[in-house]
Amino acid sequence: MAVAREAEPVGSLHEVREAGLDREDLLGVYRNLVITRGVEERGHILYRQGKIPGSFYTGRGNEAAAVGVATAMKQEDVGTPLHRDMGVHITRGVEPWRIFAQYMGRADGPTKGRDGNVHMADAQLGLIAMVSHLPAMLPVAVGAALAFRIREEARVALAWFGEGASARGDTHEGMTFAGTRELPVVFVCDNNQWAYSTPTHLEYATEHVADRAQAYGFEGVVVDGTDVLAVYREARRAIEKARAGGGPTLLECLTLRMEGHAVHDDAFYVPKVMFEKWAESDPLERFRTWLRANVDMTDEEEDEISTGVKKLLNDALKRAEDSPMPDASDLTAGVYATGEDLDTPHHK
Amino acid sequence: MATETAVDVVMPQMGVSVSEGTITRWLKREGEQVEADEPLLEISTDKVDTEVPSPASGTLVQILVQEGETVDVGTKLGQIGGAAGAPAPAAPEPEPEPASVAPSEPEPAPAPAAQAPAPAADVSGGNGKFVSPVVARIAAEHNIDPNAVPGTGRGGRVTKQDILAFVEQGPPPVAPPAAPAPPATVPSAPSSEAPAPRPAPANAPSAPQPQPGEQVEPVSAMRRGIAEHMRRSLDTAAHVTSAIEVDFSKIVAARAALKKEFQSAYGVNPTYLAFVARAAVETLKDYPYVNAEMRGDSIVTRNYVNLGIAVELADGKGLIVPVIRNAEGLNLLGIARGIADLAARARDKKLLPDDVQGGTFTITNPGGYGTFHGTPVINQPQSAILGTYALVKRPWVITDESGNDAIAIKPIMNVTLTYDHRLVDGAYAGRFLRDLRERLESWDGTE
Amino acid sequence: MAELTYLQAISDGLRTEMRRDKRVFLIGEDVGVYGGAFKVSLGFQEEFGPWRVIDAPLAETAIIGACTGASMMGLRPVAEMQFADFISCAWDQLVTVAAKQRWRAGTPVPIVVRLPSGGGFSGGPFHSQNPESSFAHIPGLKCVCPATPEDAKGLLISAIEDPNPVLFFEHKHLYRRIKGEVPEERYTVPIGKARTHRIGKDISVITWGAMVFTAEEAAQQLENDGVSVEVLDLRSVMPWDKAAVLDSVRKTSKALVLHEDTRTGGFGAEIAATIAEEAFEDLDAPVKRIAAPDTPVPFSPPLEKAFIPQVDDVVAGLRDLAGY
C-alpha cells in the first residue's frame, strides 16, 4: 500500500507561474532538455565510431526528471548527480564541449581523462563528482547538508540515486542520519524501473521507493518523471522546505530507462509493450506539445532552439576533438592535495 | 611465550643399521613456536631424507646442532621449552612481566640468538664463506679479497665490522684467529657457539682453493652414501649386462584399456614401468638366482620378491631405492599403486627407514629421458638389476601366418638385465630375459 | 610543559584545534554526551555544543560520507571510529569516494578519521586490529601512527590541517600507559617525518605505534650484550620517511622491521622491500621482519601474547642479527 504522496500533474500556465517559472524560463527548460538529449545522442554516435573508450551510458527517458529538479535548485545549492542525470549538468551550465572531451578521455574533460563517462562534476557549479558505487554519494550529500546546518546557511544539498541503489546500505544510513538531524537535503530517486536487468519488485518490496521516507521520519513523494513541470514543482517544494529548516524529502521520479543499461545492452528483458507505452510520454515531446498549447511556442522559436542546439553541439564536438589526449607523464600528480587545492568554491 | 618443561629434541634412529644422521635444515628457528608433531627439522641419513616432527609444543629455545652437521643417533639436537642450556628451574613466580625480567648481568646462555638458516653453510662465496652485499662493496672499494679477512660472524662469516677493521688496520700479523675485532660491536659470548660439533669449513686446511668460475658445495650425506655404495658394488660384483628388445604392442593396448578405470577408480596411473615390474616379478619365480644374494660362502634365494624401484630426487640431489615388499603377491594395480606411493613419498621426504631396506631385486627406469640402453650398477647385496628404457616406434619385421615377412611399425622397448656373473650365468640371464619378453609380448589383459 | 597521557594529549590537540578553528567539528558514535568510548572528547560537547560535537547514529558509512561532504563544503571534520576495526563498514566512503576525489575530480577531502587501534587487552578479533597497511595501500589516503604524547598532539593538529583524508591511528594500549611532556601551546609535527627514538650504531629497528616501546625495551637488553640498537619511530606509514630509514640502515647495515599488524602484506614488507632495493649494497645481514602471525587477533591472554610481538621476540631477532 502506497504511503508516499502521489504528485498531481501540472495543468495550467497559472500553476506554472505559481511555481515560479515565466515563459522565458519555460523555453529555457525546453532548450536544456534538447541539449541533454542531444549530448547523449552525439555521445552514442561517438561511441559507435570508436571515439569513446570504455562503456557508454545515457539517461534517455530521464531528461525531464534531471532538468526539472536542477531547475528548482538555487545557485548556492549543491548536488551529486549520477549517470542518468546529464540534465543536471546541462541545467547547471556545464559546457557541452567539456562533456564530449570527458567522454573521449581528453585532457580538457573535467577529470582530464582520469575518469570517464558522467563521472565528473564542475565544482564551480555546485556539483560533486559521482562514483560507480551509486548510493555512495548519498552520505556525501548528507554531509554537505550537515555543513549547511552547522553553519546555519540557507542552502540545500541534492542527492540522486536510482531504485537499484536504494537497496544498498548507504541509502539507509544517509537517510537515517539526515532524518535524525532534519538536515537540508532532498533525496531524488530516478526510478527508471530497471537496475541493469533487475526489475523493481526485485529491488524493493514497497509499492514505491518513496514509501520508505516515512520510516526515516520525512515525506515521500512520487512524481511522473516524464512531466518536467510536475517534477519541477515537487522539487521546488522539497528544496524550499529543506531550506526553511523542514528537513529532508524523498522525491521519486518515475520514468522508464528507454535504452539498455549501457550501449552494450540491448535491454531484451524489458517487455516491448513497456517501451511502447512509455514512448508515448516521451519527456521532450510531451513538454514541446505543452509549450505549443499553453505558451504558444512558435515554429520560429522551436526551430531556433533546435538549430541553436545543433550548432552548439557541432561546435562543442569540434572543440572537444581538438582537445589533446592527456599526458601520461602527469599520471601521478595530484594523488594528494596541497594547501592551494583547497582554494575552491566548495572548500571556502 | 615459553613452555614450562624442557623437552629434548634428539637425532632419531632411522632404521636399525643407521647410527648417525645429518641435519639438512631446521624448519624452526630459535625463539620460534612449534607445535607437537609439527615438522621441526629435516635430517638425512645415508638412505633416507625425512622430517623430524617436534616432540612437544613450545618455543624452540635452543638449537645445539647446526645445519650440515652429522651426529650420532640419540644426540640432543635442540630443546623445546624451558630455559636454554640449563635444566628448567621450575620458576615459582607465576606471572613474570616479561619485559622487566631481563637481568642486568650478562646471562651465560639466555634464550639465545636464533640460529636462522645458517648462511655460512649455504651460500658460498669464494672460500665457502658468504659475503654480504656491504662486505662485497667495501672489499671492492678497497681492493681486498674478503677471504683474506678473519671473520667473526656466524660460521666465520666476515662481518661489516671485520672488514672495516681490516681496512683500518691492514692485514693481521701472523696468528690468524685472534682477530682485532672491535669488541663493542660483537655480542659478548654469542651463544651461537653451541656445545655441538661444527663442520668449520673455513678451517679445513687441505681443501684446494677453487679456481675462478668454479663453484664449491659440500658433499651431502646422501651423495656420500651413494658414492660409497656405487664404488662398493663395482668392487664386489662381476657386472655383466644383457639386453633384449620387447614389442610393447599388447602392453600399449592393455594400458590404454586400463588407464581410465585405474585412474577414475583408484587414482593410479598404470605406467609401463608397472607392467614391466609385474612381469619381472612373475618371471623371477622361475629364476631364483636373479632374485638372490651371495652371503659369505652361501647363496641365498627367496620365495618372495622385495622389489626396489630407483627414484631420482629433484634437481639431481640423489637417488633413492624404496622397496615394494612382497611384490610377488601384488597384481598390476597393486604394483602400480606401490610405485606411485613410493615415488610420491620419496619426493616429499616422507619415506620411512623400512621403506628403503630389504630389497631383493631392483628395477631402474632411466628411459624417461629417451635413453634406449644403459648398464646400471647392481644395488648390493642383490644379484641383478633390471633396466627399462624409452619406448620408441620402430620398423619391425613381422611374419604372418603364411610365413611372409613384412615391416610393421611397433612400439619397442630395450630392456636390460645387469647381473652379477659370480652368481648368474649368461645363458641363465638370457632365458630370464626371453621369458620376460614373452610375458610382456603376450600380455593377455587380465592383469 | 605539562605531563600528559597519550590520551590526554590527543584530547588536548583536538581541543586546541576546535578552539582555534571554527570549521573543525567532531562526529562519531557516543562522542557527545558520553565523551567517547575512551573519553577523548569528555566535556567537549559542553564547550562546543551539539553541532560541533555530533553524536551520530550507529552508521559508519554515514559518518565518513558526511565528513566527506562537509569537508567539501569547507568544514574540517574529525570522525571518531569507536574502534579502528569498524572502519571496515566505511571502507567504500574512504576508499571509493574520499581517497580518489582529489585525483580524479580535483576536489580535496580534508578529513581526519581517528582510529583507536591495536591490542594488548583481550579485545579479541574485532577490537584490536591494526589495519594501517590496508589503507596505506590506497593512493590518496594518509596514515599516521603516533607513539608518544607529544607526537600524538602535534600529529593530530597536522592531520586536521592537512588537505587530504588522514587516518589517525591512536593506539589504545598507549592511551593511559604512556605519559610524557607535552607543550601546552599549539604546535605541529610534520606528517611523513620519522623520529629517532633511540640512537644506535649496530642494528636499526624500524617500527611505529606501540611497538616503539617494545623495541626500546629490547634495545636496552641488547645493550647488555654490547650491541647498540637504533630505534626509528616512523610516526606515519603513508607517507613514510624513506630517507630516514635508508640513512639509518646505511649506518648500521642491519635492519629489523617490527610491527603489531600481521606479517603478510603488512607495511613492514614495503619497508623491507625498499631497503633491499635501495640499500642492498649497504646490508650486512638479511632484513628481518617481526610481526604478528597471519591470524585474526585472539582473545584469550596467552593467545594474544603469542600474537602480539613481545620484547623477547624482538630480543631474539636482534640477537640473531647481531650474531649474523
Confidence (pLDDT) at B243? 95
* One-letter amino acid for residue B370 of the chain: G
B107-152 per-position pLDDT tens digit: 443 333 333 333 333 334 445 568 999 999 999 999 999 988 989 9
Q: Which residues in chain A have their CB less than 8 angstroms from residue C142's CB?
A: 336
Cβ <8 Å between B104 and C201: no
Q: Is the pLDDT of residue C225 over 60?
A: yes
C228-239 per-position pLDDT tens digit: 999 999 999 999
A111 and chain C: CB distance < 8 Å anywhere? yes
**What's the CA gap between B376 and B382, in Å, rounded?**
13
Q: How confident is the model at residue A196 (pLDDT cuts 50, 70, 90)?
A: very high
B319, β-bridge pairs: B312
The DSSP call for residue A239 is H
Which of A257, A163, A174, A254 is closest to A218 using CA atoms?
A174
Q: Is the pLDDT of residue A178 over 90?
A: yes
Number of CB pairs, chain A paired with chain C, less than 8 A apart? 159
What is chain B's mean pLDDT, rounded? 78
Confidence (pLDDT) at B315? 66
Q: Which residues in chain C have their CB less than 8 angstroms from residue B111's CB?
A: 312, 315-316
Measured CA to CA in angstroms, residue C181 lies from C148, C169, C241 at distances of 9, 20, 24
Q: List Cβ neighbours of B145 (8 Å cut-off, separation of 6 or more).
A: B126, B139
Confidence (pLDDT) at B262? 85
Rounded to the nearest 10 degrees, what angle do helices A137-150 and C60-72 cross at? Answer: 60
C157-191 per-position pLDDT tens digit: 999 999 999 999 999 999 999 999 999 999 999 99
**What's the CA gap between C94 and B65, in Å, rounded?**
52
Q: Is the pLDDT of residue A324 over 60?
A: yes
DSSP B84-151: SSS-------S---GGGG--SSPPSS-S-----S-HHHHS-BTTTB---HHHHHHHHHTT--GGGSPP
**What's the CA gap between A268 and A260, in Å, rounded?**
8
Q: Is the pLDDT of residue B154 over 80?
A: yes
Q: In this predicted model, which residue has the larger pLDDT, B214 or B299?
A: B299
Confidence (pLDDT) at A348? 55
Q: Which residues in chain B have their CB less than 8 angstroms from residue C316's CB?
A: 30-31, 111, 113-114
What is chain C's mean pLDDT, rounded? 97
B114 and chain C: CB distance < 8 Å anywhere? yes
Q: How confident is the model at residue B86 (pLDDT cuts 50, 70, 90)?
A: very low
B322-366 per-position pLDDT tens digit: 999 999 888 888 999 999 888 888 877 778 777 888 899 999 998
Q: Which residues in chain A have their CB less than 8 angstroms from residue C54's CB?
A: 146, 181
Q: Which of A114, A133, A346 sits opposite C72 (nearest CB)?
A: A346
Q: How confident is the model at residue C79 (pLDDT cuts 50, 70, 90)?
A: very high
Q: Is the pLDDT of residue C88 over 90?
A: yes
Q: Which residues in chain B have their CB less than 8 angstroms from residue C214's CB?
A: 99
User: Within 13 Å, how many C-alpha atoms sit on residue A117's CB side?
Assistant: 18
Confidence (pLDDT) at B207? 52
B61 and chain C: CB distance < 8 Å anywhere? no
A250 and chain C: CB distance < 8 Å anywhere? no
Q: Which residues in chain C have their CB less than 8 angstroms from residue A342's CB?
A: 108, 110, 163
C147-157 per-position pLDDT tens digit: 999 999 999 99
Q: List Cβ neighbours of B206 (8 Å cut-off, separation of 6 or more).
A: none
Q: Is the pLDDT of residue A73 over 60?
A: yes
**What's the CA gap between B251 and A171, in Å, rounded?**
70
> B440 with B251: CB under 8 angstroms?
yes
> Which residue of chain C has the CA closest to A129?
C105
Q: Is the pLDDT of residue B369 over 90?
A: no
| HEC string for C123-175 | CCCCCCCCCHHHHHCCCCCEEECCCCHHHHHHHHHHHHHCCCCEEEEEEHHHC
**What's the CA gap between C89 and C69, in Å, rounded?**
18
**How many Å lie between the alpha carbon of B50 and the closest alpha carbon of chain C?**
27
Q: Is the pLDDT of residue B201 over 80?
A: no
Rounded to the nearest 10 degrees, what angle do helices B160-169 and B133-141 cross at? Answer: 20
**How many Å lie between the alpha carbon of C184 and the closest alpha carbon of chain A?**
26
**How many Å lie between the alpha carbon of B72 and the closest alpha carbon of chain C?**
27
A135 and chain C: CB distance < 8 Å anywhere? no
3-state SS class at B289:
helix
Q: Is the pLDDT of residue B102 over 50?
A: no
Q: How confident is the model at residue A344 (pLDDT cuts 50, 70, 90)?
A: low
Stated pTM of the model = 0.65
Measured CA to CA in angstroms, residue A344 lies from A90, A114, A146, B103, C102 at distances of 21, 19, 19, 61, 12
**How many Å lie between the alpha carbon of B7 and the closest alpha carbon of chain C?**
20
Whether there are 3 or more C-beta pairs closer than 8 Å between A and B is no
Measured CA to CA in angstroms, residue B37 lies from A66, B114, B355, B410, C43 at distances of 68, 21, 21, 52, 56
Please give the positions of C annotated as active site: 127
Q: Tell me the average pLDDT across A182-207.
A: 96
Q: Which of C64, C107, C139 sits opposite A129 (nearest CB)?
A: C107
Q: For cell 640460529, name the residue.
A: B115
> B256 with B430: CB under 8 angstroms?
no
Q: Tell me the average pLDDT across B241-250.
A: 94
> C277 with C283: CB under 8 angstroms?
no
Cβ <8 Å between C320 and B33: no
Q: Is the pLDDT of residue C137 over 80?
A: yes
3-state SS class at A150:
helix
Planar angle of CA C49, C55, C57, nearest 5 degrees: 155
A90-116 per-position pLDDT tens digit: 999 999 999 999 999 999 999 999 999
Confidence (pLDDT) at A68? 98
Q: Is B235 exposed, middle or buried (0-12, 13-18, 19+ CB in 10 A)?
A: exposed
Q: For cell 683500518, name the residue.
A: B168
Q: Is the pLDDT of residue C31 over 50?
A: yes
B32-59 per-position pLDDT tens digit: 998 888 889 988 876 677 888 888 888 9
Cβ <8 Å between C224 and B33: no
Rounded to the nearest 10 degrees, what angle do helices B332-347 and B272-284 cross at? Answer: 120
Backbone angles phi, psi at A252, to 5 degrees: -105, 120
Taking only residues 23 to 52 of chain A, the set having a beta carbon closer than 8 angstroms to any beta carbon of chain C reads: none
Q: Is the pLDDT of residue B24 over 70?
A: yes
Q: Tell me the average pLDDT across B249-268.
A: 87
Measured from the Cβ of residue A72, the count of other Cβ atoms closer than 10 Å reads: 26
Which of C174, C180, C228, C175 is closest to C205 using CA atoms?
C228
A125-129, A333-337, B99-103, B423-427: least confidently modelled range: B99-103
Q: Tell me the ipTM for this assembly.
A: 0.92
Confidence (pLDDT) at B116? 38
**What's the CA gap between B391 and B380, in Å, rounded?**
28
Q: Is the pLDDT of residue B263 over 90?
A: no
Planar angle of CA B285, B286, B291, nearest 5 degrees: 60
A169-173, B35-39, B389-393, C25-29: least confidently modelled range: B35-39
Q: What is the CA radius of gyration of chain B?
A: 29
Backbone angles phi, psi at C237, to 5 degrees: -100, -15
Q: Which of A139, A173, A176 sits opposite C69 (nearest CB)?
A: A139
DSSP run (H or E) holding C102? helix C99-105
Confidence (pLDDT) at C21? 97
Q: Is the pLDDT of residue B22 over 90?
A: no
Confidence (pLDDT) at B172? 53
Confidence (pLDDT) at B305? 94
Q: Which of B99, B105, B112 sits opposite C319 (nearest CB)?
A: B112
Q: Is the pLDDT of residue B214 over 80?
A: yes
Please state, for a pLDDT cut of 90, what percent of chain A lies above it.
88
Rounded to the nearest 10 degrees, what angle do helices A169-181 and C60-72 cross at? Answer: 70
